[in-house]
Amino acid sequence: MPQTPGPNGGINATRTTFAIVETLHEREAARLTELAADVDIANSTAHEHLETLKECGYVVEDEGLFSLSLKFLDHGTQAKRRYRDLIEAAKPALEGLIDETNEAMNLVVEEHGEAVYVDRMTGERGVPTNSWAGKRKPLHTIASGKSILAHLPDERVDQIVSAHALSPVTERTITSRERLDEELETIRDRGVAFNDRESHDRIRAVGTPIVLEGEVFGGIAIAGPAKRLTGEYFRSELPDLLLGAVNEIELKLAYH
């Protein structure tokens, strides 16, 4: 029997499967009834999807609790290999920034209109945040993401904003297209982007894009506690360090 197509094409049953996967990712572990309620499907439907996911090796069950299996780790590692050249080119520069600042360093790319962390390093003073390799965030909320947006074609920015909107994460997040366009123009002029508590109330960051022959490869950022990243250190010293690091990365990519 053919599967029912969704309103924009595709298969609704597949959407349900991945809604379950996303819910398990957010919850870490859940019971069948919890998953059914979260995804808004019948318990019997949730059972059928979970049994299929178990059979295919993507879900494990322990005393009625379901969680994602390590099979996703294999797929994630394979996907990350697409950015191997970028990660290898960026690693020495990010390590150098850690030596200079002891803060947290992020390497981010754009995928499906979102910022995806492909690497993250933390110095001795670096603080834990809600960012890690594989984490996805709205591009307009983080420094590296805004720096990427600033160097994408206008039509691509239009597509991203249309698909993901400009939803707020904190009260300082940019939420209007006019304000975003002004910010992107400023980023192009100065070469760096600032995240002033726009993705987290207690975090500031400075980011810059990695651009080679007009192609945006990604962006890097230095992040740290808002109370420490202040004044000239935040507005001048860190941007200068970051621009030197990204120049090194771009040269390595050019002559790889």
For residue range 109-156, list pLDDT tens digits in order.
999 999 999 999 998 877 767 788 889 999 999 999 999 999 999 999
**Same domain assignment for residues 136 and 244:** yes
Domain membership of residue 210 (yes or no) is yes
202 and 250 part of one domain: yes
Q: What CATH number corresponds to the domain at position 232?
A: 3.30.450.40
25, 68 in Cβ contact below 8 A? yes
Residue 4 belongs to a domain:
no
65 plus 81 within the same structural domain: no
Same domain, 108 and 188: yes
Residue ending a domain, choose from 50, 69, 88: 69
- pLDDT for 252 equals 94
Asked if residues 242 and 208 have their Cβ atoms less than 8 Å apart, the reply is yes
Q: How many domains does the chain have?
A: 2
Q: How far is CA 176 from CA 85, 112, 169, 204, in A?
A: 35, 21, 13, 21
Quickly tell me which residue has 């805004």 as its tokens: 146
Per-residue pLDDT at 59: 94
Give the pLDDT confidence score for residue 179 in this predicted structure. 97
Domain boundary among 69, 86, 108: 69
Last residue of a domain, one of 69, 90, 116: 69
Per the structure, the complete domain to which residue 223 belongs is given by 77-254
* Domain membership flag for residue 114: yes
148 and 227 within one domain? yes
**Per-residue pLDDT, 116:** 96
Q: What is the pLDDT of residue 76?
A: 85
Is 226 found in the same domain as 113?
yes
pLDDT of residue 165: 94
31 with 150, same domain: the answer is no
Q: What is the pLDDT, as a whole number, of residue 1?
A: 31
80-113: burial string, b at 16+ Cβ within 10 Å, e else: eeebeebbebbbebbeebbeebebbbbbbbbeeb
Q: Supply the pLDDT for residue 185.
A: 98
Which residue numbers in the chain have pLDDT < 70?
Answer: 1-10, 128
